[in-house]
Amino acid sequence: MTLASRRSLTAYTFLALPLVFFICVRFGPMIYMTAMSFTNWGLLRRKSEFIGLENYVNVLSDPVFLKALGNTLQYAFIGAPIVIVLGLCIALLLDAIPKGKGLFRLIYVLPYITPVVAVSWVWRWMYQPPPLGVINLVLGALGLPAGEFLNSPNQALPSIMGVNVWVELGYCSTIFLAGLQTIPKELHEAARIDGATGRQVLFKVTIPLLAPITFFLTVMEGIQFLRIFTQVYNMSFQAMGGPLDSAKSAALYIYQKAFNNFEMAQAGSASIILFAIIMAVTLVQMKFLDRKVNY
Amino acid sequence: MKSTLMKSILKRKNLGIAAAYLLLSVFTVIMVFPFFWMLSSSFKDYSQILQMRFLPAEPTLENYKYIFFSTSSRFPQWFLNSAIVAVCTTASVLFFDSLLGYVLSKFRFPGKRIIFLLIVSTLMIPTEMLVIPWYAIIRAMKWGNTYWAIMFPGMISAFGVYLMRQFMSTIPDDLIDAARVDGQSELRIFLTVVPLIAASKPRMFTLPVGLANFSGEAGSDWHYIMTGATVAMLPLIVVFLLFQRQIVKGIAMTGMKG
């Protein structure tokens, strides 16, 4: 046996058990759910029969699902860009200061490492209507009108999105800062000597060089926001997804279909639609955003 | 003439830095205040929580006593459950994810790229889709009411594999080749040359699922809920402060080119 093939064999040996894991716990269940989504499987039914695309038709004509899908897209297409732009701004600020980078970064990462459930309940407490909510207390002190936040059909979704931005911000700015620190300082100096203004350096040198990182974060945050569940579950009254389903995400819809209505197959078809959307968004991002950068 | 120009540039630069500090401080308040408010609320009793003071007038440990020692509180059990699940899955994730990261970064073999892509692509699968089959597996294997039933889906983390591959690719190949020349076995090289970094994704240390139920039961007893949240967060914050260097480095590394 050649050395190369022996090394390959070692690699496969190491990979065997983890691959069995991924097949049994990720791919297997996914294929199973895909198959079951064409049946009328439900916990309240004895037998499940093949019913073709009926679940998909039902789910797609369910106004609640369409609402949840629209909400999910709002979380992703508004929330993810906000967190990426804010994360970049913070990273640029951190890069500019001479002292205290580490301390600020430490503080900003704190929300990211704490359990989402706990964080959601803390924010829910702060969002309470007067006289209990501290945010409304501050608004009142500033002479501003009280917000309804989680209790209002218009404000529930942005309020929950804001919490997720708060959670992910430290993650994004940490990654951006690491990227900024790998950019050679000579590049900035060269641009400045050539007469570029600070703004030109930022938009023509720094941001283009950060493209691979921005791409990575767009994909990761896009997936993160499209899968949003725990925040919505914990921050809405009786985990229902906000007043009039105004904050309900697709993931929460799937959960409710499966564990409140026991319609497993319908939940399955809804989850496949969500998966297809996540994959489509990711592939589009990969196609348009992944431009190789060299320096 | 020249020195005044320099002075004005310096002055503008200092002004910019001052503005940066100001903005960063504003963000600091936004990031820290929820934690502060949670902690402050956890030391207030029912009457004080309605007073909305930033610091409790008469701090009390009653809420903590209730959470840990009241017979109706199931928190100690949840805490134990979380600890057991966290320790086991973290150990497993650390071992398998670093092993996978090592193999996928330091070996050359057919199918390497596709295996890596397959593993990372599982990040896109919504968990809700998998939960139902997992439940079926638990029932079929008769794992009900065991720790294993909650642990098995998280024994390997795809995000961790990605992170570890990034990390491993920063270790020079020469180092590993040197060990190979010395005649060490591949497993031994992996275990010795490759250092264990603290956390692949610190978030999964504990999952206080109980807190969600507890909060539902506690209803409007916000002083208990905030105490529960504090207790659920504390271990993570301690671990984070202990390993902050490695954790921040780990997070930063995920964004690097692989």
- Closest chain A residue to the Cα of B244, Cα to Cα: A106
- Asked whether residue B203 carries a pLDDT value surpassing 80, the answer given is no
Please list, residue by residue across A205-240, b when 16 or more beta carbons sit within 10 angstroms of its beta carbon and e when fewer do.
bbeebbebbbbbbbbbbbbbbbbbbbbbbbbbeebb
For the segment B4-28, what is each residue's pLDDT rounded down to a tens digit?
777 777 777 788 899 999 999 999 9
- Contact call for A105 and B248, based on CB within 8 A: yes
- Asked whether residue A278 carries a pLDDT value surpassing 90, the answer given is yes
Residue A34: its pLDDT value, please?
Answer: 92
Backbone angles phi and psi of B197, in degrees to 5: -90, 150
For the segment A129-152, what is each residue's pLDDT rounded down to a tens digit?
988 899 999 999 999 998 899 999
How many Cβ contacts (< 8 angstroms) between chains A and B?
240
For the segment B56-101, what is each residue's pLDDT rounded down to a tens digit?
988 999 999 988 888 777 777 777 777 788 788 888 888 888 889 8
Entry field: residues in chain A: 295
Separation CA B257–CA A238 (nearest Å): 43
A73 in contact with B, Cβ within 8 Å: no
Nearest neighbour of B24 by CB, restricted to A28, A94, A216: A94
Contacts of B224 (CB under 8 A, 6+ apart): B63, B66, B67, B214, B218
Nearest neighbour of A97 by CB, restricted to B17, B130, B132: B17
- Contact call for A271 and B128, based on CB within 8 A: yes
| Residue B246 C-alpha, separation from nearest chain A C-alpha, in angstroms | 12
Higher pLDDT, B128 or B117: B117
Residue A184: its pLDDT value, please?
Answer: 84
Sort out which chain A residues have CB atoms less than 8 A from B17's CB and list them.
96-98
| Residue A30 C-alpha, separation from nearest chain B C-alpha, in angstroms | 6
The CATH label, of 3.40.50.970, 1.10.3720.10, 3.90.920.20, 3.40.50.300, for the domain at A59-289 is 1.10.3720.10
Residue B33: its pLDDT value, please?
Answer: 96
- Contact call for B23 and A93, based on CB within 8 A: yes
- Asked whether residue A284 carries a pLDDT value surpassing 60, the answer given is yes
Which of B149, B33, B237, B158 minimizes the C-alpha distance to A125?
B33
Nearest neighbour of A113 by CB, restricted to B137, B209, B236: B236
How does residue A295 score in pLDDT terms, banded at 50, 70 and 90? Answer: very low
Which of B252, B158, B238 minimizes the C-alpha distance to B197?
B252
The alpha carbon of B128 is separated from its chain's Cα centroid by a whole number of angstroms, namely 21
A212 in contact with B, Cβ within 8 Å: yes
**What 3-state class would DSSP assign to A50?**
strand
Sort out which chain B residues have CB atoms less than 8 A from A112's CB and list them.
203, 251
Beta strands in B85-135 (DSSP E): none
How does residue A115 score in pLDDT terms, banded at 50, 70 and 90? Answer: confident
| Residue B171 C-alpha, separation from nearest chain A C-alpha, in angstroms | 17
- Rounded mean pLDDT of A113-127? 90
Determine what percent of chain A is predicted with pLDDT higher than 70.
97
- Contact call for B115 and A217, based on CB within 8 A: no
Rg (CA), chain B: 25
Residue A47: its pLDDT value, please?
Answer: 79
- Contact call for A233 and B212, based on CB within 8 A: yes
For the segment B163-191, what is each residue's pLDDT rounded down to a tens digit?
888 877 777 777 777 777 777 777 777 76
pTM greater than 0.95: no
Any idea what DSSP says for residue A146? P
For the segment A25-70, what is each residue's pLDDT rounded down to a tens digit?
999 999 999 999 999 888 777 778 899 899 999 999 999 999 999 9
Sort out which chain A residues have CB atoms less than 8 A from B212's CB and list them.
117, 233-234
Joined tokens for residue A290: 């992944």
Separation CA A215–CA A80 (nearest Å): 12
Sort out which chain A residues have CB atoms less than 8 A from B52's CB and list them.
131-132, 134, 137
- Closest chain B residue to the Cα of A36, Cα to Cα: B133
- Asked whether residue B152 carries a pLDDT value surpassing 80, the answer given is yes
**What 3-state class would DSSP assign to B95?**
helix
Q: What domains does chain B contain, in order, with CATH numbers?
A: 72-253 (1.10.3720.10)
How does residue A290 score in pLDDT terms, banded at 50, 70 and 90? Answer: low
- Asked whether residue A9 carries a pLDDT value surpassing 70, the answer given is yes
For the segment B43-62, what is each residue's pLDDT rounded down to a tens digit?
999 888 888 888 998 899 99
- Closest chain B residue to the Cα of A259, Cα to Cα: B132
Separation CA B182–CA B195 (nearest Å): 19
| Residue B52 C-alpha, separation from nearest chain A C-alpha, in angstroms | 7
For the segment A189-232, what is each residue's pLDDT rounded down to a tens digit?
888 888 888 888 888 888 888 988 898 899 889 999 999 998 99
| A197 class by beta-carbon count within 10 Å (0-12 exposed, 13-18 middle, 19+ buried) | exposed
Which of B156, B136, B6 minimizes the C-alpha distance to B88?
B156
| Residue A154 C-alpha, separation from nearest chain B C-alpha, in angstroms | 23
CB A131 within 8 A of CB A73: no
Joined tokens for residue B129: 């889709």
What is the ipTM, given to two decimal places?
0.89
Sort out which chain A residues have CB atoms less than 8 A from B28's CB and list them.
104, 107-108
Mean pLDDT for chain A overall = 90
- Contact call for B109 and A11, based on CB within 8 A: yes
Rg (CA), chain A: 24
- Closest chain A residue to the Cα of B210, Cα to Cα: A117
Residue B244: its pLDDT value, please?
Answer: 81
- Asked whether residue B29 carries a pLDDT value surpassing 50, the answer given is yes
